[in-house]
Amino acid sequence: MPVHFAEHHDIAFYASRLCISPRYLSQIVRDISGRTVIDYINQMLMLEASYLLLQTSLPIGEIAERLHFSETASFTRFFTRMKGTSPREYRKGR
C-alpha cells in the first residue's frame, strides 16, 4: 500500500528510501512499466483527491493541504490539468 505519496511528490524521496539515485529509480521504473515515477505519484494523488472530493465534504483548501500542495491554487491547477475539470466542478458533477 502506498503511504508517502501525499507528503512527498518528488522522486528524490523515494530513491533515497530505496538507497538508489533518482536517475536510476526513474530508469528502472520506465524500463519495467513504460511510465515515469511522477506518473505513478500523480495517479495516486488523483485517486486520493477524487475520493476526498466525492466522498467527503472537506473544503478544497483542506484537501489541497492534506495532499501537501503549497496552496489551493496549485492543487486546482494540478487537478484541472490531470482531470480536465476543476475540483469544484468535479465535485458538483457527482
pLDDT given at position 1: 43
CB 86 within 8 A of CB 76: yes
Residue range of the domain that includes 72: 11-92
What is the rounded distance in angstroms from the CA atom of residue 21 to the CA atom of residue 5? 18
pTM of the model: 0.83
Find the distance separating the first CA and the last CA of the chain, reported in whole Å: 27
Half-sphere exposure of 12 (CA within 13 A, CB side): 0
Flag whether 5 is in a domain.
Answer: no
Flag whether 6 is in a domain.
Answer: no
**Segment 48-53 mean pLDDT:** 96
Decide which of 6 and 71 is more confident. Answer: 71
Percent above pLDDT 70 for the chain: 95
Number of domains in the chain: 1
- CATH number of domain containing 59: 1.10.10.60
| Distances, alpha carbon 89 to alpha carbons 26, 60, 86, in Å | 34, 11, 5
